[in-house]
């Protein structure tokens, strides 16, 4: 007979897709605990959690969406894991771009951060009518890659060829165990792993800023 392998259900921001697949594999090699991911915009995940979606861990691309589901988080398990910066891909001149893809600036963290930056530098009103809102930051990047947008503002970790916005808004990625987790001890172990040396090295390789 084969032993059953415990599988954690982790909800993670779309911008974490590549790095978390590698970290999940490393976690399983180290602990024998498998990880199944649900990747989406953090606002979408927050809504799913509010609607009762099962899971063990939420790894958000911003603090606002984690705050939104605070009543669904196990006490004292929230930790800040990594940070990020914004980057411009496609044409660098947003004023002359005809179409600019952003993760929905009304709700998706990457788009909210981008709008905050554009408002701070006085460009939002000039480019607002050019904005093509997308479901998540990966969709915004795909719009540029496919030619459906001239430029996009994404995370620097989404496309390492982009022009980094050094004065990006503060971008923090927190993780926490969900209150209804059926595997709380393993979920806490996973968050501890995210903060450990091996995971930090993987985060750094993908361009994230480790604490």
Question: pLDDT digit string (tens) for 78-137?
Answer: 999 999 999 999 987 999 999 999 999 999 999 999 999 999 999 999 999 999 999 999
d(CA 90, CA 70): 37
Q: For 86-165, which CATH superfamily applies?
A: Periplasmic binding protein-like II (3.40.190.10)
d(CA 89, CA 154): 7
Vertex 76 angle, CA 57 and 17, to 5°: 25
Distances from the Cα of 167 to the Cα of 19, 85, 162, angstroms: 24, 8, 15
Give me the residue spans of the domains in the chain. Answer: 7-83+172-210, 86-165
4 falls in which pLDDT band (50, 70, 90)? low
Structure-derived torsion over alpha carbons of residues 119, 121, 126, 127, reported in degrees to the nearest 10: -70
Contact 4, 183 (CB under 8 A): no
d(CA 26, CA 174): 20
Q: For 7-83+172-210, which CATH superfamily applies?
A: Periplasmic binding protein-like II (3.40.190.10)
Q: Are strands 171-177 and 100-103 parallel, antiparallel or unpaired?
A: unpaired
- CATH topology match: 7-83+172-210 vs 86-165: yes
Q: Are strands 34-40 and 57-59 parallel, antiparallel or unpaired?
A: unpaired
């Amino acid at each position: 007979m084969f032993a059953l392998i415990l599988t954690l259900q982790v909800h993670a921001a779309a911008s974490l897709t590549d790095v978390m697949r590698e970290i999940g594999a490393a976690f399983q090699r180290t602990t024998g605990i498998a990880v199944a991911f649900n990747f989406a915009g953090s606002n979408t995940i927050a809504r799913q959690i509010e609607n009762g979606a099962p899971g063990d861990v939420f790894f958000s691309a911003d603090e606002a969406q984690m705050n939104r589901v605070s009543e669904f988080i196990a006490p004292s398990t929230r930790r800040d894991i990594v940070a990020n910066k914004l980057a411009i891909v496609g044409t660098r001149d947003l004023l002359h771009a005809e179409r600019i893809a952003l993760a929905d600036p009304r709700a998706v963290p990457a788009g909210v951060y981008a709008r905050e930056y554009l408002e701070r530098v006085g460009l939002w009103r000039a480019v607002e009518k050019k904005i093509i809102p997308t479901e998540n930051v990966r969709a915004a990047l795909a719009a540029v890659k496919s030619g459906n947008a001239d430029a996009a503002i994404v995370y620097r970790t989404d496309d390492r060829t982009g022009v980094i916005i050094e004065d990006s808004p503060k971008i923090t990625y927190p993780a926490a165990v969900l209150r209804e987790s059926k595997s709380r001890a393993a979920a806490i172990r996973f968050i501890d792993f995210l903060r450990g040396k091996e995971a930090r090295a993987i985060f750094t390789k993908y361009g994230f800023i480790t604490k």
